[in-house]
Structure 1
Amino acid sequence: MYTGDCEKCFGLCCVALPYAKSADFAFNKDGGTPCQHLNADYRCGIHKSLRNNGLRGCTVYDCFGAGQKISQVVYNGKSWRDDPAIAEEMFNLFPIMQQLHEMLYYLNEALSLKETHSIYTELQEAMTKTEQLTDQDPKSLIDLHVPTHRALVNDLLVQTSELVRGKFRGNVENPKLSKKIKSRDLIGANLRGANLRGANLRGVLLIAADLREADLGMTDLIGADVRDADLSGANLEGSIFLTQAQLNSAKGNGKTKLPSSLSVPSHWLH
């Protein structure tokens, strides 16, 4: 539901967002400037070979449906090319809508879990409120103080995490590893075969970590940075708040067990 549909978007992520030349991007681009590979039909000219062209960062981005919401609903199918006068407003609105749609993605997942029945009403109210915010006029949205609303949503997502992880909380027996998790720094860590079931990995840096054959079932992975982490053969079934974009940034193989809502990235199979 809350996933990007590029066919219904005016290439907003390819225009509105800035990026700097790095391992993820082959060149610098200013916000509001169309990417050099954006075609006249708003499609990416090198979509199938982004990684080979040094644009891995594009493959791990997800607007959670914000692009088509702005393109087709807020501006009724009128693009920044059709009416340059709305371009700046549209580009300023995009990252705000993206944040709200990301919250909707997580709230929608929380509502689908049997463990959250005790807070279902609160989650549904937050969902409704967030959807109402996305339906505001552009000026009201641009003036919205997103962190205030995010704090309310996050409180419910934390409660969701505690309910789902339940009896598995505190499951990590290794004191050093437990301390590392709390520090959020597991960059390059050797966690092959580790039992991380039920761990709270919110916002943990797992960049280039070796997680082969690790058990990540029932873990909370919201905001975890898994760029170049090796998930080959790992078990992620039952994990919560994991996104397709996170998987796209990691390594893995056909033996990696994923939640049913997510798919194996194509680069894992090559």
Structure 2
Amino acid sequence: MPDNARRPGTDSTDRVDRTDRAALRADCASCFGLCCVALTLTRSADFAINKEAGKPCRNLQEDFRCGIHTDLRTQGFPGCTVYDCFGAGQKVSRETFDGQDWRQAPQTAQQMFQVFPVMRQLHELLWYLTEALSLDAAHPLHGEIRRGLDETDRLTRLPADAFTDLDVAAHRDDVAGLLLRTSELVRATVPRRKKRDHRGADLIGARLKGADLRGADLRGAYLIAADLTGADLRLADLIGADFRDAQLSGADLTGSLFLTQAQLNAARGDAATKLPSSLSRPTHWDR
């Protein structure tokens, strides 16, 4: 269990570390390979095989490590390098099921595999809410954000059988509205911001080289294979934007809103791409 994860009985103020999102980053060494078992794989450009949910991937080893981890892209599994559980894997493995793995206790397998994708959604919300609470311009909403953060964290601490009846979609909708209001407050601080509403826009293959997209609303936009070389994406709302094969070389993403590691992993960039301090430069960008 990460050092900053709340244990049963601790004070509620310790539930989520509001300055460090370490517990919201995947720790595969503390997980029972849940993403390699619980999820469905469909043979495509992302995955070399078909695999049913609940069936272990052929590359999963007895120690729950991936046998081709360093060669996933060359072996036809680039989709695995993009996936991010936001730390849900270790939460389910070490806390919800108290370190009891599905191989040694097969009676837990089905329930564990059902809990994992729900937990992943909750941890993604924790990632966004923790970021929202760090934004000075969103100060008028910080009280609501704290309450949303605490409630989401509470849901992640529920016993396994409680996840069956959990209406995570309704909770996501509540949080989504709060994140949208946060975004509007922050983006309003961009000087002389023109209306750049590209929410859900089809920008597949768009030529946006050097574009000034500061403060733009790109929530859910399709930016697949778009050329964003040298683009200014500071304070742009990028929640849910599809960056698969998007060219981000030299782009400035510092201060962008609600960007995730998975989005970066799906894109292409270089050493000149400027990133938020909370995210890491994908290793395949250097190849």
**2-structure distance, mates of 1:233, 1:101:** 30
1:148 equivalent in structure 2: 170
1:189 equivalent in structure 2: 206
- In 2 relative to 1, CA 48–170 (structure 1 residues): closer, same or farther, beyond 3 Å? farther
- In 2 relative to 1, CA 187–128 (structure 1 residues): closer, same or farther, beyond 3 Å? same
**1-structure distance, mates of 2:224, 2:105:** 42
Residue deviations 1:88-131 (CA, integer Å, cap 9, x gap):
00001110000001000100111111112111111001111111
Residue deviations 1:222-258 (CA, integer Å, cap 9, x gap):
0000000000001111101001111000000000011
Q: Does 1:67 align with 2:89?
A: yes
1:39 equivalent in structure 2: 61
Q: CA RMSD in A?
A: 1.4
**2-structure distance, mates of 1:152, 1:17:** 26
Residue deviations 1:31-67 (CA, integer Å, cap 9, x gap):
0000000010000011111011110000011111111
Q: Does 1:18 align with 2:35?
A: no
Deviation, structure 1 residue 263: 1.3
**2-structure distance, mates of 1:243, 1:34:** 26
Match of 2:225 among 201, 208, 211: 208
Matched AA of 1:236: L
Match of 1:227 among 244, 247, 250: 244
- In 2 relative to 1, CA 151–170 (structure 1 residues): closer, same or farther, beyond 3 Å? farther
Structure 1 stretches of 4+ moved >6 Å: none
1:264 equivalent in structure 2: 281
**2-structure distance, mates of 1:170, 1:84:** 59
Q: Does 1:108 align with 2:108?
A: no
Deviation, structure 1 residue 169: 8.7
Any conservation in 2 of the 1:134–1:141 contact (CA below 8 Å)?
A: no
**2-structure distance, mates of 1:203, 1:170:** 24
Scaled by the length of structure 1, the TM-score of the pair is: 0.95
Match of 1:81 among 97, 103, 117: 103
Q: Partner of 1:82: helix, strand, or coil? A: coil
Any conservation in 1 of the 2:199–2:219 contact (CA below 8 Å)?
A: no
Q: Does 1:161 align with 2:183?
A: yes
Could you tell me the percent identity over the aligned residues?
A: 55
**1-structure distance, mates of 2:90, 2:181:** 30
2:72 equivalent in structure 1: 50
Any conservation in 1 of the 2:200–2:222 contact (CA below 8 Å)?
A: no
Q: Partner of 1:211: helix, strand, or coil? A: coil
Deviation, structure 1 residue 156: 1.0
**2-structure distance, mates of 1:147, 1:167:** 31
Any conservation in 1 of the 2:97–2:160 contact (CA below 8 Å)?
A: no
Match of 1:91 among 113, 129, 134: 113
Deviation, structure 1 residue 168: 3.1
Any conservation in 2 of the 1:203–1:222 contact (CA below 8 Å)?
A: yes
- In 2 relative to 1, CA 90–127 (structure 1 residues): closer, same or farther, beyond 3 Å? same
**1-structure distance, mates of 2:77, 2:143:** 42
Scaled by the length of structure 2, the TM-score of the pair is: 0.90
Any conservation in 2 of the 1:204–1:224 contact (CA below 8 Å)?
A: yes
**2-structure distance, mates of 1:51, 1:60:** 10
Q: Does 1:4 align with 2:21?
A: no
Match of 1:135 among 157, 175, 199: 157
Any conservation in 1 of the 2:54–2:110 contact (CA below 8 Å)?
A: yes
Deviation, structure 1 residue 170: 8.3
- In 2 relative to 1, CA 65–217 (structure 1 residues): closer, same or farther, beyond 3 Å? same
Deviation, structure 1 residue 182: 4.4
Any conservation in 1 of the 2:250–2:273 contact (CA below 8 Å)?
A: yes
